[in-house]
Structure 1
Amino acid sequence: MSHHIKGQSRTQTTLFPEALDDFVTEDNPVRVIDVFVNEINLGALGFHRVQTKQTGRPCYHPATLLKLYIYGYLNRIQSSRRLEKETHRNVELMWLLERLSPDFKTIADFRKDNSEGIKNACRQFVELCRQMNMFSDAVFAIDGSKFKAVNNKSKNYTPKKVKFLIERVEKSIQQYLSQMDTQDNNEKATGNEVSASKLVWLKERLVELEALQKEVNDHPDKQISQTDPDSRLMQTHHMSRKVCYNVQTAVDTKHHLIVSHEVTNTPDRGQLTSVANQVQEVLKTNKITILADKGYYKSEDIKALQDTGAQALVPKGDTSGAEKKGIFNRSLFRYDKTKDVYICPADNELQYRCDTTETGTGRKLRMYFDSVACRDCKIRSQCTQSEREPRKIRRWIYEEILDKMQSRLEAAPDTAVTRKQTVEHPFGTIKMWMGSTHFLTKRFKNVSTEMSLHVLAYNLKRMMSIMGTQSLVSALKG
């Protein structure tokens, strides 16, 4: 006989069957899910069928299906069909759902029909974290990350792509017509016969593409995604382009909890104030500090954020292109606040001359230059390419706000590292849970619901790591 631990016989019966509760330890995460869902008011959060009529066929309580989804997203099981299978074989789910086994259609419909309730449940957990004083530092890092949509790249069209496809089809039609003319002139030709049906298909395809071209050009975004109309072709890492959603998150730098999130289909630039306002709403205070990368740098956004009472720390990227032109960068011109002048690299003072308005943005600018000093300057060729006009420096009337922010950034050199270590880890974790497919649903409403479930699962797991399962259960009950 082998010296190994022996299991029980599959045919062995027991006089006293174990209770299902004996299979779930006290520190099992399913106990946190169970307590959290039982303690919140599902009706007030917007879930349907909390209160039902006494007639008709009974339905599943929304608490049952919400527990199932939270468990699934916590354990990398997002598919409704896979969740249905798990309810039949997973002991933890048998305990959590009290041996109920909804079918996949019921599970999928719950996520589709309770979008608002699921989003509010995610916000409710963040509110509970706030009540536990988890956000005492009030410093948050924000960033956006591209999450692949259901829409394939081949089903996404831009003006450039449609033009290329039309030209290719027209070229193919001309080749077919040329071959047909050759065959008509050579009656003995037996090979390379042209298929008439192929030519008909190409002409029909050309009509479709011409109609699609008009549709794309008329679209506000100059882009159409046929499978998921809300998704957009975006630049991702390694210079590749994919059809994605851009998910914005704000993460607490102390405990790395996701405080707010939003699914968008636009770039990061211009979303600084929007994300910060969501954080302020969650925390019920305006006194917060926001860390962001240079992709969020927009002077109007930074001023709007400062006006709310928050502080922004956003580094400025150099987009002037002066170095490529072989002339001095604007950063080499120092502003003297006392004299209200700019000191150029040749140590000449550029005086304030007039006001102007920036084309496109409407920003009010102050103009600084010195025609005489610039005309006689020995390094003029390194400062401006114009033979007549002097080098002019434009200063936004609220530039002082940006200068103060830059001073705070220079006083805290670790800001960029802190932001990166804080906000990028949750993105990596959630994408790992999602796998290669990322989102499973289409349109903003359903994709936002999916993201809320991922964020709720992430925050639950993070809180269990911080407090411990049993301590978190006690806190949720309290």
Structure 2
Amino acid sequence: MMGHRQVEQAALFYEFSLERHIPADHLVRSIDRFVDLDDLRRELAPFYSNIGRPSIDPELMIRMLLIGYCFGIRSERRLCDEVHLNLAYRWFCRLGLDGGVPDHSTFSKNRHGRFRESDLFRRVFETVLRRCIRERLIGGEGFAVDASLIKADANRQKGIEGDKRLPPEAAGRAIDEYLAVLDDAAFGAATEVTPKFVSPSDPAARWTGAHGGQAFFAYSTNYLVDVENAIIVDVEATTAIRQAEVLAAKRMIERSIERFDLYPSRLLGDSAYGSAEMLGWLVYEHGIEPHVTVFDKSARTDGTFSREAFTYDHTRDVYRCPAGNPLTTTGTLVNNDTTVLYRASKRDCQACSLRSRCCPNTPARKVPRSIYEGARDMAREIASSWEGRTSRRLRKKIEMLFAHLKRILKLDRLRLRGPNGARDEFTLAAAAQNLRKMAKLIPMPALTPA
């Protein structure tokens, strides 16, 4: 039997509860338990005027942003529409059925104005991190560090050559931010190498071909992750080059120690963090075990003995060549005071039967040794151990976070420009990932009937 035609009838009164219409297993319910914005108004008070028209509730703005990053809603215009239409989002944002959603232009103006000036997004991230610590989701013993390239909002076909000046008509927030970070070691001062191309719309973005395909403009998002539950301990935005990423790793480690007393016993990383200076910083300055792949370019391809063929005697401070002859040093530092040269005797080399395989084109063999070689040896020893093999498997957790960031949260390309835009997006995305992780690991409490 066909059902009756549905005819819209106006009612004088409605009894409707948002609380009852949100499923118990909906993600917004799980996330809402861990969002604490009670101190938000007090912290933002200095950034609002005492006169004029009342502004939008800052808690509403933050909750809307968290919805956007947790559910991969990248457009601000679409986010405002989704919050307006979706009952679960309205419930999370404390809007009720008749609460007004801000216009997307007003939303954008607040996001790029007082919110950025107050460093609010960093505070939101740290608030979520403190909750992770209280829930004992962070072991604090093993941290992993890595970086991933995120495409900038810049057209690769409109780049100008790096040695040319920006056109006079180039202006805007991104240009001002670029000029402000020219002396920052995480951006303009990270390297003296002039990039091949520069984007007029976002000159701080770095031209890179690291993925092996077409080159593009990009920033790097840097994560410091606790490997126990893959909680993001810190996040930093940098230009897309290795030197800046190493600096970001140092900043994140020091910040986690200073602000949260999280002192890792070991750090997991790939060869990008395996330079002698970085390993020395970990071992000698902070006492952190370097579960890091050593960056070593000493191997030779011409058939002669590489440095690993020479054995170092710690007791006598000499190297032994494959023929058993010593290589000694005067202790003079070279290469910016980071390297000591060990030289063999010319007499020994001239009479050696292995000369053709050791130093056929020089009178005697020289072997450089970094002043951080002890830390490099420690990293090599760890890499060959069972703990090192385990660490290499655990490092995949941070790669999975980057895959989640790009595929699920859809942050494979930035929508905001400039260093501050990249910093805001990366920080909020990391906070969203931690919220989703807590929602997954901590079950919802059983609802008690009224």
Of residues 373, 385, 407 in structure 1, which corresponds to 2:381?
407
Question: Could you tell me whether the CA contact under 8 Å between 2:149 and 2:219 is conserved in 1?
Answer: yes
Give 1:136's aligned residue. 139
Of residues 64, 83, 87 in structure 2, which corresponds to 1:87?
83
Question: Could you tell me whether the CA contact under 8 Å between 1:141 and 1:291 is conserved in 2?
Answer: yes
Shift of 1:50: 8.5
SS at match of 1:59: coil
SS at match of 1:57: coil
Q: Distance in 2 between matches of 1:7 and 1:341?
A: 96
Aligned residue runs from structure 1 range 267-282, under 5 A: 267-269=241-243, 270-271=246-247, 272-282=249-259
Deviations 1:3-33 (Å, cap 9, x if unpaired)? Answer: xxx8993626677532122111344332355
The residue type equivalent to 1:353 in the other structure is: T
Shift of 1:453: 1.2
Deviations 1:312-356 (Å, cap 9, x if unpaired)? Answer: 222123323512x2212111212122333323233x132313223
Q: Distance in 2 between matches of 1:289 and 1:263?
A: 23
Q: Distance in 1 between matches of 2:37 and 2:199?
A: 41
Closer, same or farther in 2 for the Cα pair 1:239/1:380, shift >3 Å?
A: farther
Deviations 1:345-383 (Å, cap 9, x if unpaired)? Answer: 33x132313223323x33141424232332222221221
Question: Could you tell me whether the CA contact under 8 Å between 1:141 and 1:252 is conserved in 2?
Answer: yes
Closer, same or farther in 2 for the Cα pair 1:381/1:220, shift >3 Å?
A: closer
Deviates more, 1:374-383 or 1:150-159: 150-159
Structure with the larger helix share: 1
Q: Distance in 2 between matches of 1:8 and 1:340?
A: 95
Deviates more, 1:420-429 or 1:388-397: 388-397
Deviations 1:122-144 (Å, cap 9, x if unpaired)? Answer: 11111221222222252111011
Aligned residue runs from structure 1 range 204-353, under 5 A: 221-223=193-195, 224-269=198-243, 270-271=246-247, 272-306=249-283, 307-320=285-298, 322-323=300-301, 325-346=302-323, 348-353=324-329
Q: Distance in 2 between matches of 1:7 and 1:383?
A: 95
Deviations 1:216-237 (Å, cap 9, x if unpaired)? Answer: xxx9552332110211112322
Q: Please provide the CA RMSD for this pair.
A: 2.9
The residue type equivalent to 1:60 in the other structure is: I
Of residues 412, 416, 433 in structure 2, which corresponds to 1:458?
433
Give 2:183's aligned residue. none
Question: Could you tell me whether the CA contact under 8 Å between 1:42 and 1:50 is conserved in 2?
Answer: no
- Equivalent residues, number: 407
Closer, same or farther in 2 for the Cα pair 1:435/1:25, shift >3 Å?
A: closer
Closer, same or farther in 2 for the Cα pair 1:458/1:327, shift >3 Å?
A: same
Aligned residue runs from structure 1 range 314-463, under 5 A: 314-320=292-298, 322-323=300-301, 325-346=302-323, 348-359=324-335, 361-386=336-361, 388-411=362-385, 412-415=387-390, 417-435=392-410, 438-463=413-438
Q: Distance in 2 between matches of 1:434 and 1:228?
A: 23
Give 1:181's aligned residue. none
Give 2:28's aligned residue. 30
Shift of 1:96: 2.6
Deviations 1:394-442 (Å, cap 9, x if unpaired)? Answer: 2223422221232222222424533431211111111114548610011
Question: Could you tell me whether the CA contact under 8 Å between 1:328 and 1:382 is conserved in 2?
Answer: yes
Deviates more, 1:326-335 or 1:282-291: 282-291
Question: Could you tell me whether the CA contact under 8 Å between 2:150 and 2:221 is conserved in 1?
Answer: yes
Question: Could you tell me whether the CA contact under 8 Å between 1:341 and 1:349 is conserved in 2?
Answer: no
Q: Distance in 2 between matches of 1:10 and 1:142?
A: 60
Q: Distance in 2 between matches of 1:131 and 1:364?
A: 45
The residue type equivalent to 2:252 in the other structure is: V
Give 2:176's aligned residue. none
The residue type equivalent to 1:316 in the other structure is: V
Matched, 1:11 2:8: yes
Closer, same or farther in 2 for the Cα pair 1:36/1:287, shift >3 Å?
A: closer
Shift of 1:454: 0.7
The residue type equivalent to 2:78 in the other structure is: R
SS at match of 1:408: helix
Q: Distance in 2 between matches of 1:285 and 1:456?
A: 18
Closer, same or farther in 2 for the Cα pair 1:133/1:294, shift >3 Å?
A: same
Question: Could you tell me whether the CA contact under 8 Å between 1:49 and 1:61 is conserved in 2?
Answer: no
Closer, same or farther in 2 for the Cα pair 1:333/1:385, shift >3 Å?
A: same
Structure with bigger gyration radius: 1
Q: Distance in 2 between matches of 1:11 and 1:50?
A: 48
Q: Distance in 2 between matches of 1:247 and 1:385?
A: 47
Give 1:148's aligned residue. 151
Deviations 1:159-202 (Å, cap 9, x if unpaired)? Answer: 58x7xxxxxxxxxxxxxxxxxxxxxxxxxxxxxxxxxxxxxxxx
Question: Could you tell me whether the CA contact under 8 Å between 2:41 and 2:58 is conserved in 1?
Answer: no
Shift of 1:100: 2.6
Question: Could you tell me whether the CA contact under 8 Å between 1:259 and 1:282 is conserved in 2?
Answer: no
SS at match of 2:233: strand
Q: Distance in 2 between matches of 1:294 and 1:226?
A: 33
Q: Distance in 1 between matches of 2:292 and 2:333?
A: 24
Q: Distance in 2 between matches of 1:83 and 1:12?
A: 31
Deviations 1:199-220 (Å, cap 9, x if unpaired)? Answer: xxxxxxxxxxxxxxxxxxxx95
Aligned residue runs from structure 1 range 29-178, under 5 A: 29-43=27-41, 46-47=43-44, 53=50, 56-97=52-93, 98=95, 99-113=99-113, 114-115=115-116, 116-159=119-162
Deviations 1:37-86 (Å, cap 9, x if unpaired)? Answer: 44441145x43588774x64332210011111101111111211001211
Deviates more, 1:253-262 or 1:278-287: 278-287
SS at match of 1:238: coil
Q: Distance in 2 between matches of 1:159 and 1:443?
A: 17
